[in-house]
Structure 1
Amino acid sequence: MTTGDLPVVGAFVDGLRITTRDTLVSLDPSTGLPCARVSRCGPAEVDHAVTAARTAYEGVWRRTTAAERASACRAVAAILHAHRRELAELECLDTGKPIGQAYTDADVAARYFAYYAGTVEALFGQTLLNHPDLLAYTLPEPHGVCGHIIPWNYPMQITARTLAPALAAGNTCVLKPAEDACLTPVRIVELAHEAGLPPGVLNVVPGTGAQAGAALAAHPDIDHLAFTGSRATGQAVMIAAARTIVPVTLELGGKSPHLVFPDYDPASAVPLIVASITEHAGQNCSAGSRVLVHRDVHAQLSAAVARAFTALRIGPGTTDPDLGPLISARQRATVLGHIDAGRTCARLVTGGRVPDAPQLRGGFFVEPTLFDDVPPDAAIARREIFGPVLCMTAFDSAAEAVALANATTYGLSAGVWTRDVGLAHALARELRVSQVFVNNYSAAGGVELPFGGYRQSGFGREKGFAALLEYTRVKAVAIRVDGDLFLPGGSSG
């Protein structure tokens, strides 16, 4: 099949599928071969989508009740669940992730819409008893038209986690997926329309960041921006938002640590430590990419993780391996560059190479890699690698562990492994992250758990009830009540 014979995935705007003359070619990361062509939208298509979203917001969506929006979200959840196999297979093809992980992503995407269907009717204002002659209350209102720019690592999950609360809160949306992984975001928006959403409420415009992404971030009729991706691009989004003065939610990656104490059996922590850095080949903002371990159990944990890494099955996503490919040749080159830098300052325990198995040639694979005795100031200990690379460092005290954990510019998640409940609570207070997992680790947490950045990991909160608040703004209303009407001699009306 030539590139010209590939199916074309179009944009979806105002309830209609549209295609552009120019297209992007999507590659299957497991093979490096083209798998689809995608419409390459630019400023004209973005403007069309924003106009459609504004028309839908002013004409229909802002006047819907919370109950009506909850019903719409339940319908979207149901249709996503009904199409879970199709969506999982598309995600596996487009991102290379193991098919089992892709099925999980499909289920979680549906759950986001179900969750916000169940919570939006609990979104209330407040009555403010601040003066006897005033009836004062607050109204949580939607922003209006929201722009959403998402990355390539979890396109299904992040599409749902950003669109569902925005939609439930009463906003209309324009989504710009990453050019490396557009297939499932486009399909989700199409399915949402099939579930009964009015035209223009959800729109998707695939394209490059320099064209479609920049046009969306700078559009003067956007009322709120949500961005997940790299720090450099997040800064560009902030600059664009500053020019139009709109609020922004940013999630910009992390360097999340595990803190392992000697009272916890290291062997019991290994499976989740390994999973947290190998899920989707470590391409996860809250991947547990650092292990800080007490010196008393350091050697034991290092050996156990190394054994687990060497036992992992590496393969194409369709074979449901333990470890699939990276998203692109470019990302693999970036990861290998970090590994080469790590060899100069730390001890490479295992991995660090491109697998040479014949069935993996052509795909963008890297072996799971463990560095030990990593200096705290090393680049691999501070920078987000976004690949299956784990850095291990020993500590001697809880205070030192906290200092090491906080010694990056990021702050998303952390895992604490200890049987000491008091210590666990103390560490939860001291760690500068939005999520602390004690004796477990769930990358980015569940649907219900608020998630977001400290410091250069960004700001604002996604997931949980906090996301509904993120997609609303508060209006205060104060009505004067004339108390004289009810006093002796007052007017009877």
Structure 2
Amino acid sequence: MNTDAAIRDYFAAGTLPALPSDHFIAGRWAAPVAGARMETFDPGLGRAYHAFAAGTEEDVERAVTAAHAAQGAWGRTKASERGAILTRAAALLRAEAARFAFVESLDSGKPLQEAEGDVGGAARAFEYYAGAADKIEGETYPIGDAYLGYSRIEPVGVTAHIIPWNFPLSTAARGIAPALAAGCTVVAKPAETTPLTMLMLAELLTRAGLPDGVLNVVTGTGAEAGAPLVAHPRVRHVTFTGSVPTGQGVMQAAARNVASVVLELGGKSPLVVLKDADLDDAADGVIGAIYENAGQVCSAGSRLIVERAVHGAVVERVVERVKALRMGHGLRRTTLGPLNSAPHAARVAAKVDAAKARGLAPLVGGAAATDPETDAGWFFEATIFDDVAESDPVVQDEIFGPVLAVQVAEDVDHATALANGTDYALVAGIYTRDFAAAHRMARDIDAGQVFINEYFAGGIEVPFGGNRHSGFGREKGLAAVHNYLRVKSVAAKIG
């Protein structure tokens, strides 16, 4: 794919050729039973550019039935063969990365270079779990010479994956790849605003050799397609990424079938800068932590906690960098893209307007915007509120946009207390030259993952997930494979 030519063609025509428009069930495209369609939008222009299937319970039933029928053979497939399929999928994804990144940028709104990184990360996930597939091993138990005790490690069965709109491809890969490696079948429901790369991925996996029915995709709304999927009695596990209220509903639905659940929910993650840190490095880290994907990141560093001795110097550096951000359509490789949808843009604006009504004055930003080149799209200015009280909703509530709240700490202990001062506990970042202080804080901050001197450090090898209102369970790393396995113990008298 010639990306530059494709961008020119898209802006001229307003759409892309050969985009998927149906569900993917039992290895083939499947029109919706009810025949309904819905539109997907380009957030950078605020206009629809494609239509796709609006799924219902009948479509979910077809997909789960296909997954259930495929489970037995796939679960018995030799692990090395499952790994080989995932390896081929990774290679195909790398070969077709330009088109995947283009569609991901267009559907989600994120800058193209960020989408390119997401595609590379998704390919790496398939490579990683391809290598894990034949490392799933049981144990023997020392129950005496007259007995043989051992375990069989088995796939849990049909798994449901509810994919969010902020990282459609990479979130899908981090859940689906370990499920397939473990021998589970999958029914995926992508977000209604970003359905396309999940559909493309399903077709790619089929070309890589995945048997029919092992991976199925049903598109549509959460109410019409997502809810019946997570409540289906043949679904034995649900992996969900999304909001706290929706996650609570998913857990309740799964509980009725005694199905296991992994929930990756919201965050209000702290990025702590101590007075001995490299302040320029820390300021760069702050920009990436909160303004990547326009702040639409569950693990975004949306709270900057800085020691008072360097508060002014750090904030000055961050403001300077914010003013250098370039807003615009993601396909133009800007540094601040749009918000994903008109309703979400309205929610972000409402939360910022409420903060201003309470008397908070943003240092920069604070208003909805449009693409300077086209005067279109769902944008919001990069925003900073300084020295915000711990009780203020800007500190306590997830805004999920390019909005940073600054909190001032008196010392390391106070910074730790502030870091733990919300209901969320997803990730945390620490910038300091003091090795001992960094690791004491890593010990004392309640979070599923802690970054030291580089926000978003790590990769697919490092387990990821939250505590408290940020959810439970872990994705990524070898820990993720265990979400999709069950242990059967066998004890036999042999003498």
- Normalised by the shorter chain, which TM-score bucket? over 0.9
| 1:345–1:378 CA contact under 8 A, matched in 2 | no
Aligned residue in 1 for 2:40: 26
Tell me which amino acid in the other structure corresponds to 1:352: G
Tell me which amino acid in the other structure corresponds to 2:26: D
Aligned residue in 2 for 1:193: 206
Deviation at 1:18, TM superposition (A): 1.2
| 1:342–1:371 CA contact under 8 A, matched in 2 | no
Deviation at 1:362, TM superposition (A): 2.2
Aligned residue in 1 for 2:303: 290
Aligned residue in 1 for 2:366: 352
Aligned residue in 2 for 1:470: 483
Deviation at 1:329, TM superposition (A): 1.0
| 2:370–2:378 CA contact under 8 A, matched in 1 | no
| 2:271–2:430 CA contact under 8 A, matched in 1 | yes
SS at match of 2:425: coil
| 1:345–1:374 CA contact under 8 A, matched in 2 | no
Deviations 1:410-435 (A, max 9, x none): 11111111111111111111111111
Aligned residue in 2 for 1:165: 178
| 1:152–1:177 CA contact under 8 A, matched in 2 | yes
Find the aligned partners of 2:147 and 2:64 in 1 and give their Cα distance: 39
Find the aligned partners of 2:173 and 2:456 in 1 and give their Cα distance: 18
Find the aligned partners of 1:351 and 1:311 in 2 and give their Cα distance: 12
Aligned with residue 426 of structure 2, among 389, 412, 429: 412
Deviations 1:183-238 (A, max 9, x none): 10000001101111100000000010001001101111111111100111111111
Structure 1 residues 185 and 268, CA, compared in 2 at 3 Å: closer, same or farther?
A: same
Aligned with residue 259 of structure 2, among 242, 246, 253: 246
Find the aligned partners of 1:34 and 1:6 in 2 and give their Cα distance: 16
SS at match of 1:373: coil
Tell me which amino acid in the other structure corresponds to 2:116: Y
Find the aligned partners of 2:192 and 2:346 in 1 and give their Cα distance: 18
Deviation at 1:251, TM superposition (A): 0.5
Deviation at 1:2, TM superposition (A): 9.9
Deviation at 1:342, TM superposition (A): 2.2
Structure 1 residues 281 and 136, CA, compared in 2 at 3 Å: closer, same or farther?
A: same
| 1:292–1:395 CA contact under 8 A, matched in 2 | yes
Matches within 5 A, 1:226-305: 226-305=239-318
* Uncovered stretches (5+) of structure 1, i.e. residues with no partner: 483-493
Aligned residue in 2 for 1:489: none
* Uncovered stretches (5+) of structure 2, i.e. residues with no partner: 1-12
For these two proteins, the number of residue pairs brought into alignment is 479
Aligned with residue 95 of structure 1, among 108, 120, 132: 108
Tell me which amino acid in the other structure corresponds to 2:347: T
SS at match of 1:288: coil
SS at match of 2:369: coil
Find the aligned partners of 1:429 and 1:136 in 2 and give their Cα distance: 38
Find the aligned partners of 2:375 and 2:467 in 1 and give their Cα distance: 39
Matches within 5 A, 1:43-442: 43-58=57-72, 60-343=73-356, 344-355=358-369, 358-442=372-456
TM-score by length of 2: 0.94
TM-score by length of 1: 0.95
Tell me which amino acid in the other structure corresponds to 1:325: P
The sequence identity of aligned pairs, in percent, is 46
Aligned residue in 1 for 2:9: none
Find the aligned partners of 1:122 and 1:311 in 2 and give their Cα distance: 47
Find the aligned partners of 2:57 and 2:146 in 1 and give their Cα distance: 52
Deviation at 1:7, TM superposition (A): 6.0
Find the aligned partners of 1:81 and 1:101 in 2 and give their Cα distance: 15
Structure 1 residues 305 and 454, CA, compared in 2 at 3 Å: closer, same or farther?
A: same
| 2:327–2:371 CA contact under 8 A, matched in 1 | no
The structure with more radius of gyration: 1
Find the aligned partners of 1:204 and 1:48 in 2 and give their Cα distance: 10
Deviation at 1:131, TM superposition (A): 3.4
Deviations 1:387-440 (A, max 9, x none): 000110110121111111111111111111111111111111111111111111
